[in-house]
Chains A and B, each alone.
Chain A
């Protein structure tokens, strides 16, 4: 599968500490990648770099095969990639406003915007809360609204940073169920998580971040169990998907 987005040679340091050391990421449409790693391993930093929210010290970015400098790539990344925080941030306004925020920024006509917002809220079964202040929602509901808000923009890549952290079992299952429901052939999803259920059922690829390096594990699509992939220090690539066929 040809990657639509590749970031190669990613370097990131915080002071003297090297967080990402020559890491490669390749994202292809319709793919689901799960990113694991201990706390502080750099998962959030990596996701924010992919989303164009954090600037790396070095990285080559190729979008649909076209290489770009960081400045041009950043605006393209912010257009095509949506990053969802561990604790979904809700603007101090209604659920409807929150879901329509990105559509308003994209200057979608109001009638189309309203229709898209309604469709997104329907998908997460929260249409009845459209007028409620988003700050009054529970953690699980907030995460669902954040998913709908991202989905409404029809991004090419969705990055979820520990989306089920501190959720009860029911909310966790609901979040994973919704994620499967929102997945499409065009959308690539990357999930940073420690949730064993998600790791066992979601990914086409499992990536493990450790000591600044990304280790790939191809996943058997039938059993959804990670199979020991070729461990390559500092790189994890989409082409490995092709290796597993």
Chain B
């Protein structure tokens, strides 16, 4: 218990004295996860809109695949990407393995289903009358889509927050395709795993604290958005 207390004190010192290594890890984590969510979000919104507003053969199958992908283990995504990006894999020539780009790709794959399913639910819960009203008032289809998305904006923001929360804390994919290389691909979850295995708890606790604060902030944001969405509807 005493050891844990000492490690925690050391962690706070590292965090609040601006330890360079620690803040570099935090920076890499945020950079990779923000890129991933920025890439996944427009694609997920577009796909969610198409599925909510159109009827086509195989629509149910796509929804089932997306719902199943919600529980896709990060380590399986990492393994699949590893096989695809390794030297002997079909995309080996791209030399992406153990790079931040590979980590971003993995996180896009993990974020997409969650953002898709939540935004699909938000769009479908909105009234179809919004779409028809926009069109009958002379809006172009693109403007009408943007209008509908704006009408359900709180649900969409909640989807993005939840997606970001999922990927910023995942360890399986980042570890496998990032390789946990110091100053390059080491992010918060992989650093925590490494420091813990070495018995260096201070940095692990400091990084864990950052993740906890982030999770707390995201949850507050999520409930605020969901409450606002409920009021707006």
Chain A residues within 8 Å of B, Cβ to Cβ: 48, 51-53, 78-79, 81-83, 85, 87, 89, 91-92, 101-102, 105-106, 135, 149-150, 153
Rounded to whole Å, the gap between the CB of B5 and the closest CB of chain A is: 50
B136:A101 contact, CB within 8 angstroms: no
Contacts A89-B129, A89-B130, A105-B143 given: A78-B151 contact, CB under 8 Å?
no
- Tell me the interface secondary structure of chain A in the complex: mixed
Rounded to whole Å, the gap between the CB of A121 and the closest CB of chain B is: 16
Residue among A48, A51, A79, A92 with the most chain B CB within 10 A? Answer: A92
The CA of A51 and the CA of B132, in the complex, are separated in Å by 10
- Residue on A nearest B128 in the bound complex, by CB: A89
A91:B132 contact, CB within 8 angstroms: no
Chain B residues within 8 Å of A, Cβ to Cβ: 127, 129-130, 132-140, 143, 147, 150-151, 232
A85:B132 contact, CB within 8 angstroms: yes
A85:B129 contact, CB within 8 angstroms: yes
The CA of A79 and the CA of B137, in the complex, are separated in Å by 8
A53:B132 contact, CB within 8 angstroms: yes
Select one of B127, B139, B143, B150 contacting A89, CB under 8 A. B127
A91:B135 contact, CB within 8 angstroms: no
A91:B138 contact, CB within 8 angstroms: no
- Residue on B nearest A79 in the bound complex, by CB: B138
Residues in B neighbouring A82, C-beta threshold 8 A = 136-137
B132:A105 contact, CB within 8 angstroms: no
Select one of B129, B138, B150, B232 contacting A78, CB under 8 A. B138
The CA of A102 and the CA of B132, in the complex, are separated in Å by 12
Residues in B neighbouring A150, C-beta threshold 8 A = 137
Residue among B130, B137, B139 with the most chain A CB within 10 A? Answer: B137
Select one of B130, B140, B143 contacting A91, CB under 8 A. B130
Residues in B neighbouring A106, C-beta threshold 8 A = 138
29 A-B interface contacts by CB (under 8 A)? A48-B132, A52-B135, A52-B136, A53-B135, A78-B135, A79-B138, A82-B137, A83-B132, A85-B129, A85-B132, A85-B133, A87-B129, A91-B133, A91-B147, A91-B151, A92-B151, A92-B232, A101-B134, A101-B137, A102-B137, A102-B138, A102-B139, A105-B137, A105-B138, A105-B140, A105-B143, A149-B137, A150-B137, A153-B138
B130:A78 contact, CB within 8 angstroms: no
The CA of A92 and the CA of B230, in the complex, are separated in Å by 13
The CA of A81 and the CA of B127, in the complex, are separated in Å by 21
- Residue on A nearest B153 in the bound complex, by CB: A92
- Residue on A nearest B143 in the bound complex, by CB: A105
Rounded to whole Å, the gap between the CB of A28 and the closest CB of chain B is: 21
